[in-house]
Amino acid sequence: MPDGTLPQPGGWNRFTIQVSDLAGMVQRLRQASVHFRNEIVNGVGGKQILIEDPSGNPVELFEPTIEEARLS
């Protein structure tokens, strides 16, 4: 992670949820006091951020920026 956090057993496997407006979703989730593991990361295929569910499991929110990265 950007803050230097290293993987630990049981803490890095995740599933991804595709969203159409990542910045807007992040704003709404911050207002709801959701815990974020990082800030938005811009990659080749899209933008992503990691949140934690109530049990501390990571969930990736992903906004594709190229057609090939979109779910069909």
**What pLDDT sits at residue 8?**
64
Domain ranges of the chain: 15-67
**Which fold is adopted by the domain 15-67?**
2,3-Dihydroxybiphenyl 1,2-Dioxygenase; domain 1 (3.10.180)
Q: Are 50 and 30 in contact (CB under 8 A)?
A: no
Q: Which residues pair with 48 in a beta bridge?
A: 41, 62
- Report helix, strand or coil for 5: coil
- With 0.85 as the threshold, say if the pTM is over it: no
**What pLDDT sits at residue 54?**
84
pLDDT in tens, the chain (72 residues): 778 877 665 567 888 999 999 999 999 999 999 999 999 999 999 999 999 888 788 899 999 999 999 987
The CA–CA distances, whole Å, from 41 to 1, 8, 33, 55 equal: 10, 21, 20, 23
- Rounded CA-CA distance 21/68 in Å is 17
